[in-house]
Amino acid sequence: MESSYELAEHPLVSGIPYGQEGRQGTVYKLIRTEDGLPFALKVFRPSYRDPALVKKAAELNRYAELEGLKAASREVIDPQNSKELLSRYPELLYAAVMPWIEGSTWNEIISQKQVLSVHECMDNAAALAETLTKMEEHGLAHTDLSSSNLMLSTTSDGMNIQLIDLEDLYAGGASEPDELPAGGDGYKSPSIQLESAWGAQVDRFPGGLLLAELLAWADPDIRESSFGDSYFAPNEIQQSCERYERMVRTLLSLYGPGMAGLFERVWSAEQLQQCPSFAEWSLALMAAQRQLDESLQSLQEEGEQEEKGQQQQETADLLEEGHSYEEVSVSMGEQEEDLPWESAERFPDEEVRNKLDKARELERLGKWPSALWEYGRLIEYFPKRSSLRREIEMVMDAIQDKLDSSEGEAIQGGVVQQIQRQAATFQEESAYRKLWMILSAAAGVILVVAVVVYLL
């Protein structure tokens, strides 16, 4: 091997190499000296140091580009190419150097009862289903799926799922190993285990249980009631028990009957062919994700409508008190010279800005109908869901409320004033009429007295 490596130190124990025990051996972390990149060195136990690992490595390298099979890229230390190294360290016979995979195994997350959200659980399950679907389409199977062989990590591109311990990977035409994988506790089927554990569909049962665990882990009851390194106890598999009923209820409530139905098909399977394919899991996950996105979108729109209504009410209340829109903007933290919908780069052209200035000037002068008309013309320039359009609509709603209020007061006030004026006029005319009648009567009396005096 041309490159040189150093053993990485354990992050918690000084002077001790960083290693992780597995079923077939121990995986140590290496640092490549020329560039500092991390690698993994898998040192097999004596019973697993098989010359066939050289051929197996060549087969695995062909699938290293598949999503989730990064550990398939490897180089084996064999006597033909590394005699000097093996003479000094014979325990490295047929050891494999592979990429180092960061993250936590699923059994670590289960045993620590680590909290994950529904979105995180769906992303984890979708990533695993995609990897297993691609493998199934290529006629591949891990053959030893369990929580300890599943690595999870978060990257800038989303959730990263990697399968490890790929030495027993099944591929079409590959020879069956002398010792078949026994399967992990909590993931073995008592009904199916009598069949051959060597074939393209052998992952369907343990993979289905893993997908169910990944999905349901968002529920606190599932986390608290998990058995240990797996959710189910080994003796509960395919039995009617409380954990099974809780799993079905959780999948049903979080993701709907489709997902729960897939799990029940796995649980009741007597043959591998009765388990759903991983493509079916992928399709169900896509449907569940779409339904979840639609629900979140609906909740978001309801929240936006509620917030918009509150803002409109606040604006209407301030305008009702006689404030101008400029004063309302300042009071709501939107300074006139820095209003969010007045940025030059956010307007289609100068004509739209002029329309805005005109509308605001009409509003300032109290010419509400004309201002409303100008604001209405502005809306046509912005998409329906844009923030600029929503803000203009808020202003229009506030002006419309002002107009409705003013018109009501004007109508009501006009009728009252008209009645009062008519009553006052009627009262004035009545007074003049009475005075004229009194004066006329007095003049008649005086005339009669004058005639009588003259005759006498």
Is the pLDDT at 112 greater than 90, yes or no? yes
CATH T-level fold of 5-99: Phosphorylase Kinase; domain 1 (3.30.200)
Pairing of β 5-7 and β 38-44: unpaired
**Among 72, 263, 261, CA closest to 168:** 72
Domain limits, CATH 3.30.200, in the chain? 5-99
Tokens 């007074």 sit at which residue? 431
- pLDDT higher at 9 or 405: 9
Q: What is the mean pLDDT of the chain?
A: 81
CA distances from 356 to 50, 70, 332, 369 (A): 80, 58, 19, 15
CB count within 10 Å of CB 20 equals 14
Helix runs in 116-256, H state only: 118-137, 204-216, 220-224, 242-255
- Residues 204-214 have pLDDT tens digits of 999 999 999 99
| CA atoms of 107 and 222, how far apart (whole Å) | 14
Q: Are 124 and 114 in contact (CB under 8 A)?
A: no
* Superfamily for the 104-290 domain: Transferase(Phosphotransferase) domain 1 (1.10.510.10)
Give the model's confidence band at 416: pLDDT under 50 very low, under 70 low, under 90 confident, else very high.
Answer: very low
Domain limits, CATH 1.10.510.10, in the chain? 104-290
DSSP codes of every residue in 365-376:
TT-HHHHHHHHH
Q: Are 1 and 79 in contact (CB under 8 A)?
A: no
Is the pLDDT at 19 greater than 50, yes or no? yes
- Residues 261-316 have pLDDT tens digits of 999 999 999 999 999 999 999 999 998 888 877 765 665 656 566 666 666 666 66
